[in-house]
Amino acid sequence: MRKTQGFIELAIGLLGLSAILCLGSYWTYIPLVVYGVLSIALIRRIGKEQLTKDEEQSTRKRNVTTLIGWAFAAVICYITFKDSRMGEGGVWFILSAYVFLLMHGIAFMAPINSFPNERNEGK
């Protein structure tokens, strides 16, 4: 399930980035609407899924790491695009949201034991 969620987030992030960079600000919201509809199905499946304690810790670490990465991406997007067409109407913020989806999708597609501390905790 987590890899499916990661793949969907990665695809929506790439689709959104390409919409912003190629098509302009009018089309930027369509991938987010698609992701919102898909999230309903993902949330229902997550409720049925039982996670082990290690998976919960891994998920928490991945979420915190991508949240911190998103904060940096938002600052970089704002500084870079504040005086361009992407700075108009807050498109820079939507761009940072797509970067977050990319980071979060990549994090959930990685193997569970990708963090070094998780390998040594069970010993």
pLDDT, position 75: 92
Tokens linked to 71 = 């904060």
pLDDT, position 25: 66
**DSSP symbol at 111:** -
The rounded distance, in Å, linking the Cα atoms of 55 and 118 is 10
Q: Is the dihedral of CA 92, 94, 96, 99 positive or negative?
A: negative
**Do the Cβ atoms of 32 and 16 come closer than 8 Å?**
yes
Tokens linked to 116 = 């070094």
Amino acid at 116: P
The rounded distance, in Å, linking the Cα atoms of 13 and 17 is 6
**DSSP symbol at 21:** I
Would you call 38 exposed, middle or buried from its count of C-beta atoms within 10 A (0-12, 13-18, 19+)? middle
- pLDDT tens digits, 59-108: 888 889 999 999 999 999 888 888 877 777 778 888 888 889 888 888 88
Other Cβ atoms within 10 Å of 112 Cβ, number: 15
- pLDDT above 70 covers a percentage of the chain that reads 78
Assess whether pLDDT exceeds 80 at residue 52: no
